[in-house]
Chains A and B, each alone.
Chain A
């Protein structure tokens, strides 16, 4: 069987001790990765679940119970979920009944999935972490959610996020602040912070996020999980509450590359309800996930990897830089041909991104007017109704971006801002195209730093925006990218994870998954399990 299957292990109520990291962090000063060579490579939760269900070793209900109890234990500290489904056990029972009857099982049968709160789930609260949609329950499932359910996946609940995806820390949620499982005083990143932290804390096996400017990749980096942002158009956006329509994609989190890849496979494909979804074939990614003992000596022989020069310049933490360089060395050791590439337009991406994203969001968020659904403030007069409903419904960050976007689209400013940003976008796309003609993949850090403290950048939006520099260009170019943990830096009780970003050519997620999987399975000390889990146990 082509898989990363290891000797099966049962998911006991608290299997957490197995993940305990040996306290062998080399001196803090060197920020070296932990020597955990004794730990076996991470294994796919999806495949493990399937295996243990099919073998009758455990039941879907048992697995679900163990995850629910872990949620109960960890959630008071983490606050990853805005809503936990009441139907998890019922859904799991259905899976068990199917197994009992010998019926065909979907590839995600019994897999527990967290869904970012801006992705519509029928009958389940979906608020995009905004007051303006408090208690809103959509009448339909997002296409991605619908596909997951059809394949047997169980939606565990709705994960916390920055309101409407606007933020990089999950602090901009209207309802709660999520903590980073590696250090509860730190942010999990954002905007899909809840989805990343939930996977890191094993509150669910995999999760869906959305990535407009790095909202899947940066929290993946902060939380030490795999975050996969597919090519724009690969996954239907139907049911994803729009932030910036031309940049938004639904992405996947997993504790392994294989999990993220299999979840992506499940949700990919053309959707007639999204005119921007692509008709490109979705390859069977699973064949890429060979187990370690099937690897050749140089499994990535000849793969051309370009390391983006501009991402390792000033403004990037030294720990992050060295982790990235070590990751590059590791790729070389696997047979990759490493070269340095330059993207001249790189630094233009951030301002262009903020103009485009704010402009589109100012328009996309117009529908939240309090007239048909969501928060409505009673008023004597129409404009007052708009003013109060929106004024009370939106948080500060959202209001700021609506104002910026409205300004950028105003008559007389359109050419100077929106149009110019689109021209920059074309440049960025060109530069990436050229770099990807010379290389199979490009690599960079996922963020300039590891997770920072809660509140640290709250009053300094520009500093927070600057943290998106590694990721926004990829959205502007519409390319696929994956972030996977590549090392730890000093910080927190047992170090903080650092993510490596791999960027591929449009619709070539397959290559990212292949390289990412081999990288992950061969990385020494590759078990990125946060210390919180040990403490809870």
Chain B
């Protein structure tokens, strides 16, 4: 009986961890902010909503107290699949989602006698990413073979870079969203290296056999290894998010986590605060969304902290754990018995990769403005951090915003339009900002037309949706629909007088104290003006008339 009870308690503790942490650390805004792709965003938000409203549990306070005594040390290995036209070492096309084994050749199949030939784009992308991550570049690097047997690895080795990566010793800056406490962080980048992807195994439903799809074999990757600089799930998720942003800004990858174009493996250990040496490191895989990174880490911190707290630190072992999205927990995938020996040695089929300083300089000169620079610029323009993070999150949105203000639109107004109405429209229509028909030029025109009083804000909103869907010019639309705002006090007064005189009953009620009827009158006048009356003027004149003692 006692054992059963114990088990139950433990089980409860674990199952509670997830929810209590989620309540504590996650918020609605996180995934919205962090995920670049609009469709993903919606999906994420919906998926996570049930756990968000989890009832507060009395145990969470206890857990918080335990957690206060420990510090997590987190490093991330990120694999970025490059969007080159062809694979890394052969001329097969690099297409996601092709029918299995249709994009293969003797080289990526590892047929006898086939040799790899390096795709120069891979080096270019490696240099771009290395520079964007503020790394030192190796002007002379090389490829190595990492050797292990697996059916998805045709040659029995992966061509990778071992002791001399193309880039090393960099850093990345991120801003933590305000709802997670805000603040600016800098995380070290240990290295960036080039390598090839493996194929995929397709397991039969019955489990009787597996099939190998080699379309992905030989697709180029850049692996980014961070320093163990992160301390929480949020920091780790923000770091991963920034990797995606940078990859997309640079155009080296679509960064799509669902397709596996951006894959993050997390290394995490915890230690009592004040202790210098690291605790036992656990690796977490199967993190297919930024929210999963954050939640898996928080789960893992709690799991390890509890084991420490219960004097069971010896149960924290070097292992690889899988994040189970459904159960919201990590489970053991494989324990590592000693270090795997990959028997690295220099790839004799490929010459060294020699970069000239001129080549590096030319790539540096061609780099776009990167997310961090954009954020700092937006901040300097006077935008709040919420706006800054939103606008700089997606390179297309940022470019759109830049174009709009480039056309002279007021910064704050442009930001508001993009973040509210346009963002809502994109979300509803499941579109990207590149799909809309409204040009930055016309959005600037629209903002100007409202600001100078040519049209009312209300009219502006109305025509916005038409412009988004169908395009056209603001001026043309105002003209065609006769939308120019009525700012002539005499004309408005005329309409006010008419409305007031046509509603004697309401007037009487108003004058006897039911002043909220002002809204009713205003609505009627607006209706009469077909929405074109200047609201300020309208209200001013209406008040005069309603309160007039005649």
Residue numbers of A with Cβ under 8 A of B are 118-120, 126, 128, 133, 136, 138-140, 142, 237-242, 244-246, 272-276, 359-360, 362-363, 365-369, 371-373, 382, 386, 406, 409-411, 414, 418
Contacts and interface: CB of A to CB of B under 8 A. Distances in A.
5 contacts: A126-B113, A273-B115, A275-B349, A276-B351, A371-B154
Contacts of A359: 345
A132 to B, nearest CB: 10
B251 interface: no
B114 A238 contact: yes
A372 B147 contact: no
B154 A367 contact: yes
A372 B343 CA distance: 23
Nearest to B112: A241
B345 A386 contact: no
A23 to B, nearest CB: 46
A406 B116 CA distance: 22
B348 A246 contact: yes
A138 B113 CA distance: 9
B117 A366 contact: no
A219 B131 CA distance: 53
B111 A139 contact: yes
B118 interface: yes
B117 A367 contact: no
Nearest to B110: A367
A408 to B, nearest CB: 9
B106 interface: yes
A245 B349 CA distance: 6
Contacts of A367: 110, 112, 154-156
A245 to B, nearest CB: 4
A161 to B, nearest CB: 14
Contact of B151 (A241, A242, A382, A418): A382
Contacts of A120: 112-113
B212 A372 contact: yes
Contact of B113 (A238, A386, A411, A414): A238
B341 interface: yes
B116 A275 contact: yes
A241 B155 contact: no
B201 to A, nearest CB: 10
Interface in B180-219: 212
Contacts of B115: 237-238, 273-276
Given A120-B112, A242-B112, A275-B351, 7 more contacts: A120-B113, A273-B117, A360-B348, A363-B147, A363-B157, A363-B345, A372-B154
A387 to B, nearest CB: 10
B111 A411 contact: no
A136 B112 CA distance: 10
Contacts of B118: 275
A372 B110 contact: yes
B115, B157, B350, B351: residue with the most chain A Cβ atoms closer than 10 Å: B115
B149 interface: yes
B26 interface: no
A239 B113 contact: yes
Contact of B112 (A128, A363, A369): A128
A128 to B, nearest CB: 7
B341 A411 contact: yes
A159 B156 CA distance: 27
A118 B112 CA distance: 9
A176 to B, nearest CB: 20
A140 B106 contact: yes
Interface string B117-138: 1100000000000000000000
A14 to B, nearest CB: 37
Given A140-B106, A369-B156, A411 B112 contact: no
Contacts of A128: 112
B490 interface: no
A272 B117 contact: yes
Nearest to A405: B343
B343 A242 contact: no
B345 A414 contact: yes
B113 to A, nearest CB: 4
B145 interface: yes
The binding surface of chain A is classed by DSSP as: loop
B6 interface: no
Interface string B86-130: 000000000000000000001001111111111000000000000
B339 interface: yes
A406 B343 contact: yes
A371 B112 CA distance: 13
Contacts of B151: 369, 371, 382
A382 B153 CA distance: 13
Contacts of B349: 242, 245, 275-276
Q: 5 closest pairs, A vs B, by CB?
A: A366-B156, A245-B348, A246-B348, A409-B343, A239-B113
Interface string B334-365: 00000101011100111100000000000000
A181 B155 CA distance: 38
A509 B112 CA distance: 28
Contact of B212 (A275, A371, A406, A410): A371
Contacts of A382: 151
Interface string B443-473: 0000000000000000000000000000000
Contact of A366 (B106, B111, B157, B348): B157
Given A276-B349, A406-B343, A414-B345, A366 B113 contact: no
B110, B118, B344, B350: residue with the most chain A Cβ atoms closer than 10 Å: B110
Contacts of B111: 138-140, 372-373
Given A245-B348, A246-B348, A275-B351, A366 B341 contact: no
A70 to B, nearest CB: 30
A106 to B, nearest CB: 24
Contacts of B339: 411
A382 B345 CA distance: 26
A228 to B, nearest CB: 21
A244 B348 CA distance: 9
Contacts of B110: 367, 372
B345 A139 contact: no
Contact of A410 (B114, B117, B154, B343): B343
Contacts of A371: 151, 154, 212
A192 B360 CA distance: 46
Contacts of B341: 410-411
A207 to B, nearest CB: 18
Contacts of A372: 109-111, 154, 212
A266 to B, nearest CB: 19
Contact of A138 (B112, B149, B156, B212): B112
Nearest to A120: B113
Contacts of B344: 409
Contacts of B154: 367, 371-372
Given A241-B113, A242-B113, A366 B345 contact: no
Nearest to B150: A382
A418 B112 contact: no
A240 B117 CA distance: 15
B206 to A, nearest CB: 15
B114 A366 contact: no
Contacts of A276: 115, 348-351
Nearest to A374: B112
A71 to B, nearest CB: 25
B155 to A, nearest CB: 5
B148 to A, nearest CB: 9
Contact of A139 (B106, B156, B212, B348): B106
A414 B343 CA distance: 8
Contacts of B106: 138-140
A118, A140, A272: residue with the most chain B Cβ atoms closer than 10 Å: A140
A373 B214 CA distance: 14
B145, B156, B341: residue with the most chain A Cβ atoms closer than 10 Å: B156
A128, A133, A360, A367: residue with the most chain B Cβ atoms closer than 10 Å: A367
Nearest to A127: B112
A77 B294 CA distance: 73
A272 B120 CA distance: 13
